[in-house]
């Protein structure tokens, strides 16, 4: 493959991303009518996820970790009952969509490069799926809901009991599907280390307009069944015994950090470390009771809570965290486990690097951003078709921000 040619072609397609992805699904469903039933009725987020995955592949072509990413993607796609014929159909529609969107940039050389690239991607994904099948793992696990506990309007804590053994590592995440929103899958972190009884905890934050989070919060009941995909994620314990570490959790990022600390309390209760628990306001600090119990089990864990001041913008919590991180020492010696919203992860990881933390030892899951197809500045035509949000119209956004230390 020619990575630079692939990137150059993709840069042209990216400027017509929404058109290209719409063409792709139209082509796929027209030529393969039976495939449509594998996808949710509302395709908006599905289109975003497709392009986010493509962007991740193109931007990591020379990254050794791409092989593992594609293997995991293939294992996860078993839940869609993906067959070799489906991989072939997707490849044909993807090349047709790229050819349509790229225009004159779609040369014979570009078509050859993308044909080879997709062939490699499909092979690695199918290898991951085959490895999972040979290990005896099902395409998905059915799990019964045994606890449904709401905290306020926006947070729900679930406990599930899979009907078959569910192998996973503390810190990993899982895709979840419910009959309340058929064929829709959403990702949630597992909030506990493996237990003898096999039960799993999920922390669900309701997103405004979110199909799955709303269904799990408002409509799901104890006794119902959810489907779980194969676990994924790289936020797993990797610090040698006796070495110091720092855990930073924002919002429901507490879930994977809680799982990691449960595991540490079992395996290494004498560890020395720091824990920062961040919430946008005190009323959202749902992790306090769990964090206190874990500190009792791990006496060497130094615990700090961070929230925004009353009636101040929620991003003040991040600013206060940064100040607390700057007041801490010995960052080069610490492994750091970081979990929370994507923008939070990026900002805090950059700050940790400035403080001397080794970037290769700041562990977090790099999930593709889903929402807008691109982060480049829009053209005037795009701005007129879809104006950006008017931040000054948000009363919270107008509040003055405290200067950073």
In angstroms, rounded to a whole number, what is the distance separating the alpha carbons of residues 194 and 172?
A: 11
Furthest-apart CA atoms within the chain: distance in Å? 65
Instruction: List, for residues 131-184, the tens digit of each pLDDT value.
Output: 999 999 999 999 999 999 998 888 999 999 999 999 999 999 999 999 999 888
pLDDT of residue 44: 67
Indicate if 245-363 has the same CATH topology as 141-228: no
Q: At what angle do helices 3-14 and 108-134 cross, to 10 degrees?
A: 100
Between CA 201 and CA 187 the distance in angstroms is: 13
Q: What is the DSSP letter of 218?
A: I
Burial of 385 (0-12, 13-18, 19+ CB in 10 A): exposed
* Residue boundaries of the structural domains of the chain: 3-134, 141-228, 245-363
The mean pLDDT value for 233-240 works out to 93
Contact 365, 173 (CB under 8 A): yes
Name the residue with higher pLDDT: 397 or 196: 196
Among residues of the chain, what percentage have pLDDT more than 90? 65
Mean pLDDT of 298-313: 88
Stated pTM of the model: 0.82
pLDDT digits (tens, 9 = 90+) for 180-205: 998 889 999 999 999 999 999 999 99
The architecture of the domain spanning 141-228 is Beta Barrel (2.40)
Once rounded to an integer, what is the mean pLDDT over residues 314-340? 93
Q: Evaluate whether 118 touches 91 at the Cβ level (below 8 Å).
A: yes
Cα distance between residue 39 and residue 45, in whole Å:
11
Mean pLDDT value across residues 261-281: 94
**Averaged over 349-365, what is the pLDDT?**
95
What is the mean predicted confidence (pLDDT) over 36-55?
Answer: 76
Query: 275 and 304 in contact (C-beta within 8 Å)?
Result: yes
Q: What are 83's two structure tokens?
A: 């067959």
Distance CA 356, CA 246 (A): 13
pLDDT band at 40 (very low <50, low <70, confident <90, very high): confident
pLDDT at 314: 66
Separation CA 260–CA 336 (nearest Å): 12
How confident is the model over 240-253, as a mean pLDDT? 94
Give strand ranges (E) for 90-235: 141-151, 155-162, 173-178, 185-189, 200-205, 225-228
CA angle 180, 129, 9 (to 5 degrees): 90
Coil, strand or helix: which one is 189?
strand
CATH for the 245-363 domain, from 3.40.50.1110, 3.40.980.10, 3.40.50.80, 3.40.720.10? 3.40.50.80
107-118 residue pLDDT tens: 999 999 999 999
pLDDT value at residue 398: 31
Alpha helices in 254-315 (DSSP H): 254-267, 288-297
pLDDT at position 312 over 60? yes
pLDDT on residue 65: 86
- What's the CA gap between 60 and 67, in Å, rounded? 10
Provide the CATH topology of domain 3-134: Globin-like (1.10.490)
Element (H, E) at 3: helix 3-14
């Amino acid at each position: 493959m020619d990575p630079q040619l692939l990137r150059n072609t993709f840069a042209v397609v990216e400027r017509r991303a929404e058109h290209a992805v719409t063409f792709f699904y139209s082509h796929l469903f027209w030529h393969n009518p039976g495939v449509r039933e594998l996808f949710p009725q509302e395709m908006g987020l599905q289109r975003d996820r497709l392009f986010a995955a493509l962007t991740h592949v193109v931007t990591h072509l020379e990254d050794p970790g791409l092989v593992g990413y594609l293997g995991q993607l293939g294992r996860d796609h078993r839940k869609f009952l993906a067959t070799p014929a489906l991989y072939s159909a997707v490849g044909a529609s993807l090349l047709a969509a790229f050819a349509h969107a790229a225009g004159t940039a779609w040369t014979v050389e570009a078509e050859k490069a993308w044909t080879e690239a997709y062939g490699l991607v499909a092979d690695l994904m199918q290898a991951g799926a085959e490895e999972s099948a040979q290990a005896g793992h099902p395409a998905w696990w059915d799990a019964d809901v045994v606890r449904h506990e709401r905290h306020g309007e926006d947070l729900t804590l679930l406990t599930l009991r899979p009907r078959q053994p569910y192998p996973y590592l503390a810190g990993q995440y899982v895709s979840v599907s419910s009959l309340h929103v058929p064929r829709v899958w959403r990702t949630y972190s597992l909030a506990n280390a493996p237990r003898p009884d096999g039960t799993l905890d999920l922390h669900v934050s309701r997103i405004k307009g979110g199909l799955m989070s709303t269904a799990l919060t408002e409509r799901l009941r104890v006794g119902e069944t959810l489907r779980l995909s194969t676990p994924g994620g790289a936020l797993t314990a990797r610090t040698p015994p006796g070495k110091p570490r720092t855990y930073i959790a924002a919002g429901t990022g507490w879930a994977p950090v809680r799982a990691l600390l449960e595991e540490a309390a079992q395996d290494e209760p004498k560890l020395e470390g720091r824990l920062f628990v961040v919430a946008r306001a005190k009323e959202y600090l749902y992790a306090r009771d769990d964090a206190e119990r874990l500190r009792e089990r791990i006496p060497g864990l130094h615990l700090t809570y961070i929230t925004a001041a009353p009636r101040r913008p929620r991003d003040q919590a991040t600013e206060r965290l940064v100040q607390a991180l700057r007041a801490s020492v010995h960052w080069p010696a610490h492994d750091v486990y970081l979990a929370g919203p994507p923008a939070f992860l990026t900002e805090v990881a950059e700050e940790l690097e400035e403080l001397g933390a080794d970037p290769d030892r700041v562990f977090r899951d790099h999930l593709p951003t889903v929402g807008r197809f691109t982060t480049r500045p829009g053209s005037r035509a795009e701005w007129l078709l879809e104006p950006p949000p008017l931040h000054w119209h948000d009363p919270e956004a107008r509040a003055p921000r405290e200067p950073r230390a």
